[in-house]
């Protein structure tokens, strides 16, 4: 398991939605039916999970009636406690600026 906070930040940036399932992290990606879905994001996500010392244990895909990929679930062996203690939010606080316009 890697403790390199930069690797954990990279992983969290690739995981748009996540929740825990049985104490482990499941990453969800929802696609617009018109989007071109490639394996580039999946490859990057897998590499990022491997870089921190874990793996995808199961992958579930959902297709619409036109056989377009609309949803994917990536079940991992990353423990919930480890996922919750990441550095992503600290990184956001360091680099984010907001612009409010009326």
| Domain chopping of the chain, boundaries | 5-88
Helix, strand, coil shares of the chain, percent, nearest 5, are 35, 30, 35
Distance between CA 42 and CA 83 in Å, rounded? 19
The per-residue pLDDT for range 48-86, each reduced to its tens digit, is 999 999 999 999 999 989 888 889 999 999 999 888 876
CB count within 10 Å of CB 83 equals 22
> Pairing mode, if any, of strands 69-79 and 24-30?
antiparallel
The per-residue pLDDT for range 15-42, each reduced to its tens digit, is 989 998 789 999 999 887 666 666 788 8
Q: What is the DSSP string of 76-96?
A: EEEEHHHHHT-SHHHHHHHH-
Q: How confident is the model over 88-102, as a mean pLDDT?
A: 79
CATH 3.10.28 for domain 5-88, yes or no, is: yes
């Amino acid at each position: 398991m890697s403790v390199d906070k930069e690797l954990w930040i990279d992983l969290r940036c690739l995981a748009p939605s996540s929740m825990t399932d049985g104490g482990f992290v499941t990453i969800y990606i929802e696609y617009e039916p018109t989007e071109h879905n490639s394996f580039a994001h999946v490859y990057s996500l897998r590499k990022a999970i491997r870089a921190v010392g874990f793996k995808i244990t199961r992958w579930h895909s959902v297709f619409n009636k036109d056989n377009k990929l609309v949803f994917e679930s990536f079940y991992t062996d990353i423990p919930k406690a480890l996922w919750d203690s990441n550095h992503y939010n600290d990184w956001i606080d360091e680099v984010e600026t907001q612009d409010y316009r009326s």
